[in-house]
Amino acid sequence: MASLHSKLRILLLFFSLAILAMLLYVSDVTRVFAIISGANPYYVFPALLISFSLMPVRVFRWKVLLEKIRIHVPFRKLFPTYMAGMFVSNLTPGKVGEPIKSYLLKKTAGVSISKSLPSVFMEKIFDVFSTVTLSFMGIALVTLPEKVGTIILPIIFLYVFAVTAALYVSARKDRIYFISRKMLRLFGWLPFVRRLDKPLESFAEKFNASLLRYKDARVSLKNFMLSMFLWAAEGVILYLCFLAVGIEIDALVVISFFSIAVLIGVTSLLPGGLGSSEVVMVLLFTATYALPIPVVTAAVFMARFFSFWVNVITGALCMGSLKLRLG
């Protein structure tokens, strides 16, 4: 089974790269790279700086979530653990590899997976909630082409339903217990889940006990604001990349379209939304503003390098460091 999933991940990664290659071909690859090489460094360097600056903010957000469930890990130890987990997550379909963060935390800090896993779950809840909010903010500012709206709006409402369902489930312990058991069985194909030496019932019970601690409104508000800041900043990276290639669009619209592309990218089940997110961004901006495809593609590729590939490279280095340290 593990071998089958490995082959599936490789296949999806190749499919993502094929989509990117096709997008470059349609956009005229020579012209795209010419535009990138001529990008204004006055905007490029701040975009890169924001990309690196967001890494410790993400780790801080996780630290806040962990401390709420009485898990105290030094930031210096948490940073490589989080980034390594983010690296694995970005290479799995629909980011289903997120629980690897809990596994790595167990290896680096001795924290049980069942105790820390709710923090990973809540992190994704806040991510979805914030990106959906940002998506609606931008849509209110522009008139989307009818065909674009009929595709995007149902997906956004699907996420709204998912967030509502998650909040409904978290309102009562018996619901959390039922869903957590389903989730653990869903992730049963992951090697570290299969190797758990404790019964599923005990694992789920600890998971529930930790999850119930997140009913604190102050912690929820703090994490929601941090998540909004993170995803808005990711959109600002794209905004700066547009400015770097000579295109000026309302920053709120750019942030909104970026959030929409991220949501659709996750539903595509491609690793990190790679390929699908880029295509959606290009379609949104060219359909809404009738912008030249090569210029938009150049800006999107630059932004995705800063917001996706920089994190992947950093995470890979952290994973290598952890492997050397843990043997």
pTM of the complete model: 0.83
Give the pLDDT of residue 246.
Answer: 92
* SS3 per-residue string spanning 175-199: HHHHHHHHHHHHHHHCHHHHCCCCC
Among 89-93, 190-194, 221-225, name the most confident range.
221-225
Give the pLDDT of residue 233.
Answer: 95
**Pair 137, 252: CB distance under 8 Å:** yes
Does a structural domain hold residue 255? yes
Q: 114: which 2 tokens?
A: 């069942």
Does a structural domain hold residue 34? no
Give the pLDDT of residue 196.
Answer: 47
Give the pLDDT of residue 197.
Answer: 42
Among 14-23, 201-210, 234-243, 318-327, name the most confident range.
234-243
Average pLDDT over residues 233-255: 93
Give the pLDDT of residue 25.
Answer: 87
Give the pLDDT of residue 238.
Answer: 95
Residue whose C-alpha is closest to residue 271's, from 236, 237, 308: 308
Does a structural domain hold residue 75? yes
Q: Which domain holds residue 82?
A: 2-21+42-326
Q: pLDDT band for position 209 (50/70/90)?
A: low
CA distance linking residue 265 with residue 286, whole number of Å: 18
CA distance linking residue 131 with residue 255, whole number of Å: 9
Of 321 and 180, the structure prediction assigns the larger pLDDT to 321
Give the pLDDT of residue 57.
Answer: 94
Average pLDDT, the chain: 80
Of 6 and 2, the structure prediction assigns the larger pLDDT to 6
Does 307 have pLDDT greater than 50?
A: yes
Lowest mean pLDDT among 86-90, 168-172, 247-251: 168-172
Q: pLDDT band for position 202 (50/70/90)?
A: low
pLDDT tens sequence across 124-180: 888 888 888 888 776 766 666 665 666 666 777 777 777 677 667 665 666 666 666
Count of domains forming the chain: 1
Q: pLDDT band for position 263 (50/70/90)?
A: confident
Does a structural domain hold residue 48? yes
The span from the first CA to the last CA of the chain, in angstroms, equals: 26
Does 1 have pLDDT greater than 50?
A: no
Average pLDDT over residues 313-323: 88
Lowest mean pLDDT among 42-56, 101-115, 161-175: 161-175
Does a structural domain hold residue 36? no
Does a structural domain hold residue 226? yes
Give the pLDDT of residue 17.
Answer: 81
Give the pLDDT of residue 283.
Answer: 87
Does a structural domain hold residue 31? no
With H, G, I as helix, E, B as strand and everything else as coil, classify residue 296.
Answer: helix
Handedness of CA 296, 298, 301, 305 (dihedral sign): negative
Give the pLDDT of residue 99.
Answer: 80
Does a structural domain hold residue 144? yes
